Amino acid sequence: MSLDLTTLTIKKAHDMLMSGETTAPALAKAYLDVIAAKNPDIHAYLEVYDNVMIQAEFAQKRIDAKENVTMLTGIPLAIKDNITVKGYKASAASKILENYVAPYDATVITKLQRGSGAVLIGRVNMDEFAMGGSTENSAFGATKNPVDTSRVPGGSSGGSAAAVAMEGALGALGSDTGGSIRQPASFTGIVGLKPTYGSVSRYGLMAMASSLDVIGPITKTVEDAEILFNAIKGKDVMDATSRDADSYAPATKSSYTIGVPRGFLKEGVDPDVLADFESALERLKAQGHTIKDIELPYLPYSLAVYYILMPAEVSSNLARLDGVKYGSLKEGKNLLEDYLLTRGSFFGKEARRRIMLGTYVLSAGYADAYYNKAGYVRRLIQEDFTKAFADVDAIATPVSPTPAFKIGERSANPLQMYLADIFTVGANLARIPAISIPSGTVEREGANGAKSNMPVGLHLMAPEFGESILFDIGKKFYK
């Protein structure tokens, strides 16, 4: 029996596996066939694991024995290349870690594979060390958007989004530092969740900016995102920043008050995207939700704050990659030259740019002027959200000011690329959960002059550990 992967979700696949309508090996084989056909063009996967069918057979044994079966048992998933899987490469899409083989499983991998019985298909492409918004910064080549291959899939988790969007996996893990799950989900017409900071262990995630990074799910539906999040969340002794929520109880309201910071939406947003956003608000209103204008006076400073704090943490975290401890090495005449040649040769342009910027804002004489001041404004932004959530249950904005742009269109203009994060970085700075859900499409010029209907997303934010609010609103949005 052939499987229609275009209509398949994690929930549907689970039901089919439980009823015997299909098997875990058959499901895995169907996705491997799609990858073999589509990946040479899309370039979502950097590596398909050699033990996929073995994993699927183990999952089927659990299903047949009806032992330790979860919603993810036998479900094929893709893993972003900055999350470690024992015995397999984890390069963070960088030449400096091109041949690095992970010696241990990330906590999320242990939970998915051993705990839930999921089938890990392979590692997927990304912007190098998660630095970028288009997946063009990978040392191993750009990933294309399956909706329109002349356009980017977003980033930095572009490979994760492309894998799901091209039917190359039922779900994927990404990481989100400033929008890296939500923006590619929006660009490819699927769902992406950035959980509350600390709700998912970062043990085994290659750090970009430690106070901002979060692992989260990319899926086809909100229900699937909830299933995947529930499997990976929780406090972990291996991650001191991980936390347990006081309660992850399901949301019980029949309707919500949703705040809209309209003062933040005045400039720089594509008119078609703004029109789709207003249409989404009308849809929410028709479903019984209350739409309320709110003020977030310090939110306009979030992008500037982010692009000071994030490079500073990048500079610190990537200092360990010097060719001596691990990773690629280019030898010079002495130790200093080893460092200079290795880092200069194996880090890509965007990684070098952010390392240098971060080193500058942390340097003597500038830390007070930039880094410390940015930390102070970050606290003001957090207070903005705290005050807003006293009056509203969730906050809505577009995910990105534009739909997916063409490959190469912004490569020469980093500032224009950074502006794509304007609506998403605030949630990372405030450490609150946020989700991107498909809200519509806008017409753009596609490949060979044809027209493409490019997806755009609705961005919803909730208070800390308020994921249940996002799931509830998101699931009702499609009813």
Residue 353 belongs to domain with CATH number: 3.90.1300.10
Q: What is the pLDDT of residue 41?
A: 98
Mean pLDDT estimate for the chain: 95
Q: At 457, is the pLDDT very low, low, confident or very high (cuts 50, 70, 90)?
A: very high
When pLDDT is averaged across residues 65-84 and rounded to a whole number, the result is 97
pLDDT of residue 278: 97
* pLDDT tens digits, one per residue of 153-191: 999 999 999 999 999 999 999 999 999 999 999 999 999
**Which pLDDT score is estimated for 248?**
64
Whether pLDDT at 1 is above 60: no
Q: What is the pLDDT of residue 404?
A: 97
On the question of pLDDT at 195 being above 60, the answer is yes
Q: Structural domain tally of the chain?
A: 1
- Give the pLDDT band of residue 324 (cuts 50, 70, 90): confident
Domain residues for the domain of 26 are: 1-479
Among 30, 475, 27, 469, smallest CA distance to 251 is for 469
Q: What confidence tens digit (pLDDT) does each residue in 120-129 have? A: 999 999 999 9
Q: Tell me the catalytic residues.
A: 80, 156, 180
Q: What is the pLDDT of residue 445?
A: 84
Least confident of 239-243, 244-248, 471-475: 244-248
Q: Is the pLDDT of residue 449 over 80?
A: no
Task: Give residue 373's pLDDT.
Answer: 96
